[in-house]
Structures are given as structure tokens and as C-alpha cells.
Structure 1
């Protein structure tokens, strides 16, 4: 074997050794990365801003691969679990939708109806109620023709279905246009109760949630249903009858 052949064999051996070394280094690197990242999973994120209570679906969600170890279990959802569901607050583009963001699905009985009203930090009991709690609804009537200024119990023992996030709404009045922060609250009501709450929400000066004790067997038969000037020793005069003489017999 001449010197040129020996040099060729040496170069071949060195090439094989270098190739094996590179393979080992790359294998160790891949294993190290895999050990840190782990398997990936699919989550769904908003492709554009989503308004509160807009239905979710392929039009506003896209799949996105992320390392499983770096995402929460509540984010690992199938598209079938998101189709048609809603989020109770605005969502920015790129936000991953998780299970705890979704408005709970309806669990109404055959006789119940869902109705939503807007409350604020005061009329909504300052955030002291949660989904599943039961409340009374009080209404304050002050400017409805034919009704005395009074506070009235609209409905008792109403179940809260869901509570949305804070939203800003535009309100118009004689003083001009203003903005207010409101919180949508969805209630489960019987049909007649739904009408009463809808009427009060449209015409009453204020509708309040009133939190209840956790004791569902509490005797509330002595609770009064309404309160007006008569309860304070005055006269409850219906709207439009102020100043008329001889009101006796006109006021029930």
C-alpha cells in the first residue's frame, strides 16, 4: 500500500469518526430540547378581536401548537368543545381561549327562561354574588305614571346563570350622552317573572340584586313585598295626582 492510499484510508476513518461525533452531539441536543419542551398540544386562539357573547367557531378561532408542559389543562380543548360557545367579555386577537373563559351552557328546566339585565357595582351587590347563587330582585319605581314612588319586590329566590365581565355602555339622557360601566347578569326565571323583570328593567329607575342567606329553608313569610311613603307615615300618591283635592278613596 503506497503512502497516498494510506492517507486516503486515514481521511476516511477520520471522516467516519467526525460523522459519528456530529450524530452523537445532535442526538444529545435533540434529547435535551425534547426533555425541556416535551410533546406539543393544540390550543385555539382568537384570529381577530371577539366581542363579548359572540359565538365561537372556525371564523374567529385558529389552532395553535404549543408545548404541552407550558400550557394549562383548561386550554387543551377540542374545536367541538368551542363551537357555538361564548365568552362573556371582549377577547383580543391572539388570546388563547380556555375552559374557564366560557359562559356555562344552559341548564334550564323546561319552565325556566334566561334573561339578562345590566347591573353596576352597587346594584349588583358589589361582586358578592357568583354563578349559581340565588337572589331576590327589587325594583325602584319613581317616574312611572299611575304608580306611587316605591320599592317593590319583583321576584324572589332567583338563580344566577352567569355573570359577564365589565362592559362600557353609552347612555343618553336629558343631560347629554355619557358612558357607564355595567355587568351583565343572566337569570333563570319563570315566564311571568321574565315579563315582570323586563318591564322593571325598561321603566323602573333601578333594579337591584339582593343576596340571600345560604339557608334555603329560611322562613320568609313575614317579608314585606313593597315599601313607599305610607310605610314612613306619609301618603303614597300615584304619579300625576299630586296637588289634586280630596284624594281619599283614590289611593288604594
Structure 2
């Protein structure tokens, strides 16, 4: 082997040794990064803005991989758990969906029905109620033709299914009002009464109850009008 060939062999050996050194260095760096970042998991984020109560699905969600240590403990990683579920407030594009954002699935009995009514910070007991709590529903009738101006208890011991986020709605006069949708579980006859009051009463209020909801309430007053104040409850004339 002549000197030129020996130099070629040495260059090849040096190049091979350098390639191995680079490989091990890169491998060590990747291992170090993996040890710092940790394993990755799949989560779902909003791919386009979603309005409140819109169903979730493949058309408005996208899967992404993030380091497990950086993901929220409540992040949802299975699309089947999100299909058809809803959130009670708007979500902007890029928001990662977590289980605590989702409206709980229905647990209605065979005789119960769900309806949602709008309340505000006052008529909704100023944020003192939570899903699963029990409330009474009362209505103030003041402008309904044929009915006396009165406050009437519509239904007792109603279970709250869910409470949505604050929304702004416009009334008949064009005024913007902040409201909070509250979903109630009601028997059919009570559902009709609350729906009627929500449409025609001047005001519908939720009344929070004490912890002992099984107490005897037979002495509760069911309605109240001018007659209870010593006056005379005069029905409104039909228009």
C-alpha cells in the first residue's frame, strides 16, 4: 500500500469516527430533551371559533400532540368523548378542550324534562347556586292580561342540571342585557308552567334552598299579591 492509499484509509477511518461521534452526540442530545420534555399525549383543540352550546365534533376540533407534563390533567385525548358534547360558553380557535368545560351529560329520570331559562346575577341568586343544587322557581306577574299582579311560586325543589356562561342578549326595546342560561330538570306539568312564566312574566327568579330539602314545606305561601298587603288584587283587563 502506497502512502496515498494509506492517507485515504486514514481519512476514511477519521470520517467514520467523526460520524459515530456526531451520531452519539445527537442521540445524547435527543435523549436529554426527551428526559426534560417527557412523553407526548394527544389532546384536542378548537380549530375554529365555537359559539355556546354548539356540538363538538371532527369539523371544529383538531388533534395535536403536546408533552404530557405540559397538558392540563383534565385535557381530553379521545375524540369519542367529545363527539356531540357541548360547552356553555364560546371557545376561540386554538383553545384546548378540557373535561371541566363540557356540559354534564343528562341524567334525567324517565319523567323529567330539561329546559333552560335566562337569569341574571340577581334573579339567579348572585352566583350562589351550582349544578346539582335544588331551587324553587317563582314568577312575578304584572303585565299579563286577566291575571292579578302577584308573585307566584311555580314549582318547588327543582334540580339544576347546568349553568352556562354569561351572554349578552337584546330585549324587545333593543337594550343589551347580560344573562346566564340555567338548565332545570322538571316534570312535564312544571315544565309548562316555567316555560309560560319565562315567556310572559315580568320576572322569573330562582330561590336557593337550605340543605334539608326534604323538610315539610306544606306551610309555605304559594302566592302573594295586593290582598296580602291589605289592598285588593284587581285582575288586569284583557287587551
TM-score class, shorter-chain normalisation, is over 0.9
Aligned counterpart, 2:41: 41
Find 1:202's aligned residue among 177, 199, 202.
Answer: 199
| Aligned-residue offset at 1:215 | 1.1
Q: Tell me the distance in 1 between the aligned counterparts of 2:33 and 2:76.
A: 22
Aligned counterpart, 1:74: 74
Two-structure CA RMSD over aligned residues (Å): 1.4
1:115 aligns to what SS in structure 2? strand
Q: Which runs of 4+ in 1 moved over 3 A?
A: none
Question: Which residues of structure 2 form unaligned runs of 5+?
Answer: none
User: Contact conserved, 2:76 with 2:97, CA < 8 A, in 1?
Assistant: no
Aligned counterpart, 1:213: 210
The answer as to 2:178 corresponding to 1:186 is no
Cα deviations by residue, 1:55-87 (Å, 9 ceiling, x for unpaired)? 111111111121222102321331111111111
Q: Where does 1:30-109 land on structure 2 (aligned, <5 Å)?
A: 30-109=30-109
Q: Tell me the distance in 2 between the aligned counterparts of 1:217 and 1:52.
A: 35
Aligned counterpart, 2:157: 157
1:73 aligns to what SS in structure 2? coil
* Normalised TM-score (structure 2): 0.95
Cα deviations by residue, 1:98-133 (Å, 9 ceiling, x for unpaired)? 111111101000000001000000000011000000
Aligned counterpart, 1:232: 229
Q: Tell me the distance in 2 between the aligned counterparts of 1:205 and 1:216.
A: 27
User: Contact conserved, 1:131 with 1:162, CA < 8 A, in 2?
Assistant: yes
Aligned counterpart, 1:114: 114
Question: Which residues of structure 1 form unaligned runs of 5+?
Answer: 242-252
Aligned counterpart, 1:223: 220
Q: Tell me the distance in 1 between the aligned counterparts of 2:3 and 2:145.
A: 116
* Normalised TM-score (structure 1): 0.91
User: Contact conserved, 1:77 with 1:98, CA < 8 A, in 2?
Assistant: no
Q: Tell me the distance in 2 between the aligned counterparts of 1:172 and 1:29.
A: 65
Q: Tell me the distance in 2 between the aligned counterparts of 1:188 and 1:236.
A: 32
| Aligned-residue offset at 1:12 | 2.6
| Aligned-residue offset at 1:232 | 1.2
| Aligned-residue offset at 1:234 | 1.1
User: Contact conserved, 2:40 with 2:66, CA < 8 A, in 1?
Assistant: yes
User: Contact conserved, 1:88 with 1:103, CA < 8 A, in 2?
Assistant: yes
Q: Tell me the distance in 1 between the aligned counterparts of 2:236 and 2:12.
A: 106
User: Contact conserved, 2:42 with 2:66, CA < 8 A, in 1?
Assistant: yes
User: Contact conserved, 1:139 with 1:153, CA < 8 A, in 2?
Assistant: yes
User: Contact conserved, 1:56 with 1:86, CA < 8 A, in 2?
Assistant: yes
Q: Tell me the distance in 1 between the aligned counterparts of 2:207 and 2:51.
A: 29
